[in-house]
């Protein structure tokens, strides 16, 4: 029997996204966001929901551009730090010992040490309670050569992303492949 646990922001898995922005003076910031994901295939788009009190919110309103970096598991401490300190108080990327690199296609930085970078231009905003959802058109995606597989595609095991469990407030590694997509269900299709 199922038990009600109330209206919660529960979903498995939550992604761990690092949203990088510049402020109006060109100072870089990075914040952790779990409330986000791909929201259209054409144009390729990603949405992140940001509270108005965040430095990142101010920056997005000033520049209309951001990158989403995928942090690898060996940088979990830095990714968590970006979610518990504000760019209003400090230069988080410098304190974390990481490198802010200027995107060549949008007015936003990215973390040089993180293997996947999604470069976005804000297309639209949607007000949802205490969050503003920023919908970004994906202008380009940059992937370190070191995380490409033999087939030239990004290899999830080499990227080593991790997920957020909001109920337990923990981070977890991404597991092994269990089936082929668009294929495992074929046997059931009439
Ligand atoms: C795992 C995790 C997920 C988070 N997800 C979000 C989110 O989706 N949206 C949001 O506004 N804040 C989120 N936060 C909180 C911000 O990352 C945090 O307030 C951060 O200090 C904001 O940085 P900034 O002021 O430099 O923008 C999250 C924090 C953590 C640790």
Pair 45, 23: CB distance under 8 Å: no
- Residue 88 Cα to ligand 1 midpoint, Å, equals 13
Q: What is the mean pLDDT of residues 42-59?
A: 98
pLDDT above 90 (res 76)? yes
Pick among 1.10.1050.10, 3.40.50.720, 2.30.110.10, 3.20.20.100: CATH of 14-188: 2.30.110.10
**Average pLDDT score, the chain:** 98
88-131 pLDDT, tens digit each: 999 999 999 999 999 999 999 999 999 999 999 999 999 999 99
Per DSSP, the three-state class of 58 is helix
Q: Is 75 in the pocket of ligand 1 (CB under 6 A)?
A: no
pTM, to two decimals: 0.98
Q: What is the percentage of the chain residues whose pLDDT exceeds 70? A: 100
Distance between terminal CA atoms of the chain? 32
Give pLDDT tens digits for 173-184. Answer: 999 999 999 999
Residue nearest to atom 5 of ligand 1 (CA): 33
Q: Is the shortest distance between the CB of 29 and ligand 1 below 6 Å?
A: yes
Closest approach atom of ligand 1 to CA 85: 21
Q: How far apart are CA 130 and CA 117, in angstroms?
A: 27
Best mutation site among 31, 89, 96, 163 for ligand 1 pocket (most ligand atoms within 8 Å of CB): 31
Cis check for the bond before 13: say yes or no (omega within 30 of 0): yes
Atom of ligand 1 nearest to the CA of 50: 11
* Domain ranges for the chain: 14-188
How many angstroms separate the CA atoms of 21 and 56, rounded?
7
For ligand 1, whether the C-beta of 31 sits within 6 Å is: yes
**Structure token digits, residue 150:** 């033999």
pLDDT at res. 190: 83
Residue 168, pLDDT > 90, answer yes
Residue 163 pLDDT > 90, yes or no? yes
Binned at pLDDT 50, 70 and 90, residue 38 comes out as very high
Residue 66 has pLDDT above 90, yes or no: yes
Is 90 exceeded by the pLDDT of residue 41? Answer: yes
Share of the chain above pLDDT 90, in %: 99
For residue range 5-23, what is the model confidence (pLDDT) as tens digits? Answer: 999 999 999 999 999 999 9
């Amino acid at each position: 029997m199922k038990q009600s646990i109330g209206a919660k922001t529960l979903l498995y898995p939550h992604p761990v996204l690092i949203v990088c922005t510049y402020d109006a003076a060109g100072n870089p910031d990075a914040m952790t966001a779990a409330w986000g994901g791909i929201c259209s295939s054409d144009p390729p788009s990603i949405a992140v929901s940001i509270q108005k009190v965040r430095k990142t919110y101010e920056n997005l309103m000033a520049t209309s551009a951001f990158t989403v970096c995928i942090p690898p598991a060996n940088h979990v401490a830095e990714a968590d730090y970006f979610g518990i300190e504000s760019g209003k108080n400090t230069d988080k990327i410098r304190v974390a010992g990481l490198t802010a690199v200027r995107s060549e296609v949008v007015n936003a930085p990215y973390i040089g040490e993180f293997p996947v970078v999604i470069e976005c231009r804000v297309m639209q905003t949607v007000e949802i309670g205490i969050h503003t959802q920023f919908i970004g058109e994906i202008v380009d995606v940059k992937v370190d050569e070191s995380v490409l597989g033999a087939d030239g595609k990004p290899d999830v095991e080499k990227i080593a992303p991790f997920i957020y469990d909001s109920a337990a407030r923990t981070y977890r590694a991404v597991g092994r492949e269990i089936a082929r997509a668009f294929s495992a269900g074929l046997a059931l299709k009439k």
